Amino acid sequence: MEAILSDPAGAVIGLDFDGTLSPIVPDPAKAVIHPKAPGVLAELGAHVLSIAIVTGRPPATALELGPGLADVPNLVVLGHYGFERWEAGRVSAPPPPPGVPRAEAELPLLLDSLGLDGVTIEDKGRAVAVHTRRSPDPEGALAALREPLAKLAGAHGLVIEPGRMVLELRPPGMDKGQALSLFLAERNARSVMFAGDDLGDLAAFDAVRASGLPGVTVCSGSAEVTALRERADIVVDGPEGIVALLAELASAFSRS
Ligand SMILES: O=P(O)(O)OC[C@H]1O[C@H](O[C@H]2O[C@H](CO)[C@@H](O)[C@H](O)[C@H]2O)[C@H](O)[C@@H](O)[C@@H]1O
């Protein structure tokens, strides 16, 4: 944190979206960014080299669920685990993989055959997520889905990305760690912070360590995920704690 405070113009602040900037809710379509986050990020963005939201969401969805984010200075959204980038109003992305619509077409029949209630499908374009949070037994449903979804993903050249009551079928070849590493190199960052809440964020924690830069990892703590807490330099209480930490950082920059 010392390096970030003394040289904000060299710092990249990396942030996950769901569970970090946005509280977890039962319906993914109804998630919304913490109300204070856009304002705090706007203050922060005026001082740092870059704010990078690194998320499993498509960038367009993160911006939709985060009104005000598009106006944050120096903001980049690395969506779909880094496959898609939003910057200054433009989205860049490689062509979508053909395996995703094929796997998605087989999902309803597969879910029916498993007889699971309350399991929902989120079509994300370049990936498809199967959610169990609204099932009567979310953990049980997740366990029952693991193997059949892994087979379905494999059959269509996709991989499984496990998350909070969700298994996502997505293309291989990119993760939050690679996305963050490439971004740090591209921007010639001199320090880095990354905050996340879920298993997919561990790769970004590893990237912070591997970068060789002064870095700090922050866990947006929850009772649901413990793996990150053990690997983080700082643990705060969910999105509320993240926003408070970012606000402290922004005030420290304004004072100096
Ligand atoms: O990388 P992230 O920004 O953390 O995105 C990961 C996944 O987040 C979303 O699902 C999670 O949040 C939902 C809304 O709070 C919640 O209902 C669900 O249980 C969580 O897993 C999103 O729907 C996925 O597409 C993202 O990949």
- Shared domain check, 67 and 8: yes
Reported as a single tens digit per residue, the pLDDT across 116-141 is 999 999 999 999 999 999 999 999 99
138, 154, 170 - which closes a domain: 170
Residue to substitute in 15, 16, 17, 18 for testing ligand 1 pocket (most ligand atoms within 8 angstroms of CB): 18
Residues 214, 118, single domain; the answer is no
Atom number of ligand 1 nearest to Cα 62: 3
One domain for residues 84 and 202:
yes
Q: Is 131 in the pocket of ligand 1 (CB under 6 A)?
A: yes
Where do the DSSP E strands lie in the chain?
A: 11-15, 50-54, 75-79, 84-87, 90-92, 120-123, 128-131, 159-163, 166-170, 191-196, 215-221, 234-237
- pTM of the entire structure? 0.97
CATH number at residue 146: 3.30.70
Instruction: Establish whether residue 122 lines the binding site of ligand 1, counting it when its CB lies within 6 angstroms of any ligand atom.
Output: yes
| ipTM for this prediction | 0.99
Distance CA 94, CA 118 (A): 33
Query: Which atom of ligand 1 has the smallest separation from the CA of 164?
Result: 21
Range of the domain at 117: 99-170
- Mark whether 74 and 185 lie in a shared domain: yes
Same domain? For 75 and 19 the reply is yes
The pair of structure tokens assigned to 157 is 């050249």
State whether 26 and 90 are in the same domain.
yes
Q: Measured between alpha carbons, how far is 175 from 173 in angstroms, rounded to an integer? A: 7
Strand ranges for 19-80 from DSSP E: 50-54, 75-79
Report pLDDT digits (tens) over 3-52. 999 999 999 999 999 999 999 999 999 999 999 999 999 999 999 999 99
Query: What does the block give as tokens for 69?
Result: 């984010």
Name the residue at shortest CA distance from atom 11 of ligand 1. 18
Q: What is the mean pLDDT of residues 185-211?
A: 97
Which residues, 6+ apart, have CB-to-CB distance to 140 below 8 Å?
none
Domain total in the chain: 2
Do 179 and 90 lie in one domain? The reply is yes
| Distance (Å) from CA 31 to ligand 1 centroid | 9
